[in-house]
Amino acid sequence: MDFIKAWFIDPLNKTGCRFIVVDSYNTDNAINYYLRNGFSSLFSSEKQEKEYIGKCKNEVLKTRMMYFDLLSLSL
Task: Give the global pTM.
Answer: 0.86
Structural domain span for residue 68: 2-73
Distance in angstroms (rounded) separating the CA atoms of residues 43 and 32:
16
Quick one: three-class SS letters along the chain?
A: CHHHHHHHHCCCCCCCCCEEEEEEECCHHHHHHHHHCCCEECCCCHHHHHHHHCCCCCCCCCEEEEEEEHHHHCC
pLDDT, one tens digit per residue, over 5-57 is 888 888 887 778 889 999 999 999 999 999 999 999 999 999 999 999 999 98
For the chain, the domain total comes to: 1
Query: 75 pLDDT exceeds 70?
Result: no
For residues 75 and 65, the model is more confident at 65
